[in-house]
Structure 1
Amino acid sequence: MSMTSLGISTGFMIGYCVLAQIARRFAKRFVDREGIVPVLINEAIAAAELCACCFELIIVADNFGVAAYAVFLFMLTIWWGKVWGDASACPYTHMEDLVEGKTSLKEVALRTWAELMGGCCVYRIVQVFWWFEFAETHKGRAFEECNADLQVHPYLGAAIEGLATLLCRLASKALSEKEPKFSNIIDSFIGTSLVVAGKRKSANQITLLVISSVHMFSAFNYSGGYFNPVLATALKWGCRGHTNLEHIIVYWIGACVGALLSVPVYRVPVVRRFLVGEHKEKEE
């Protein structure tokens, strides 16, 4: 495939990130900052931005390989970490807050609804862009039947999504607590590594935990490596290769259970010692 097609895909992702940032600025300026409404708008914008870029990342992965996909995903996650603010575009982060007593069930439900609306509705914008077929890689993609990424039994797929989500959330919690320099970049590297099977090595304990576990499987090849129910639903709901129930089991139950398990697991002393070196802090 030509580099022109890759450039068009890059331009689309950059363009949508710019549009999303403009939407955030407008929302911040014209929407009352009090109450739940601005929170829901930010979640919807973040989810739409995430899903629009990931639709195009599918094109990149299919035509230019997983390495190119990983580079784009890495850079995008760094950007999102800087501009999303309190938005996460991912429902299980709010579920974790609920378990920890930081939010209400009503807010969790509303945020999840806003994320689903933003993520699922943005496909129409992407579809129009593909329909124009500016790039040869977009030919026939606008209306083709999608195929599921699940290549294993649904219960195994749920275990893969759940375990990887658990590891990712443990790493994020540790980074949030330790606040190392370039923590956003480290977190982005971990998330990207989880998706593409983690073939790099690192001396950082947090990263090492993730990479060593990911060597057991390639989430990208077996379940798609979404680790986000909203993203998986926006991209793969109703696709050929799994039923809707199987989709829910793998991408909602699997990922959410993994994330919720991270809350009690992170409190286990041996886990905390490994991740944040709590015993050293106490000795000092």
Structure 2
Amino acid sequence: MIAIDLNSDLGESYGAWSMGDDAAMLAIVSSANVACGFHAGDPLGILNTVRAAAEKGVSIGAHVSYPDRVGFGRRDMDVASNDLTADVIYQIGALKGIAAAAGVTVGYVKPHGALYNRIAHDPKQGQAVIDGIKAIDSSLVLMGLANAPILKLARDSGLRTVAEAFADRAYAPDGQLVSRREPGAVLHDTRLIAHRMLQLAREGTLEAIDGSTIKIDAQSICVHGDSPGAVAIAKAIRQAFEADGITVRSFLSA
């Protein structure tokens, strides 16, 4: 039996500003990457998201970021290693406290946006993030881009890892994500996305933007919670999986 994790970025609303539909997504996904306040998320909103995830039995991960609320964490930053390590400790600690208040635990860490993209191939910042995770809880799993060097760096440093693919993003022939600045980088066709994710789950491959076939070894699939039609995309993927006998299950319960 094939099982795969389905995750989404949640808890990103801030005050009167609403982002995504957490309640709907939590009825579909098996893991929730919860904002920790540095790129989005306010304390009450984060607490409500964690409580809702707990009620649904959805695994909780810390969605750590550069300190960049204005840019939604999507602006690259040249941060000193000791600052970045402390930022990661601070964010995980905040979410751990909220999770404890909700009676659950944080099981993994997924960096957000520009930080995620930067550490995929930057060993200096990558090690700073790894050091932060290990300093607060070495049992946490690091979620990172499938086929990226950060995963080996984390494993060599003693962390467990899980590789992810992106349902709503196009891939380049080298297995990297197509930049959001390029046409066709973000996918919207729910039927096409569901078909691609079935191929990924069954065969471990995807069609790149140039039509070539690339190998993607991923144990988790992300649907961005802030994407237009995110709920419809996640629902289509889950329905396609269930119809094909594929189980949606958190990698933490495997």
Instruction: Specify if TM > 0.5.
Output: no
The higher radius of gyration belongs to 1
Larger strand fraction of residues:
2
TM-score, normalising length from structure 1? 0.30
**Per residue, is there more helix in 1 or in 2?**
1
Using the size of structure 2 for normalisation, the TM-score is 0.32
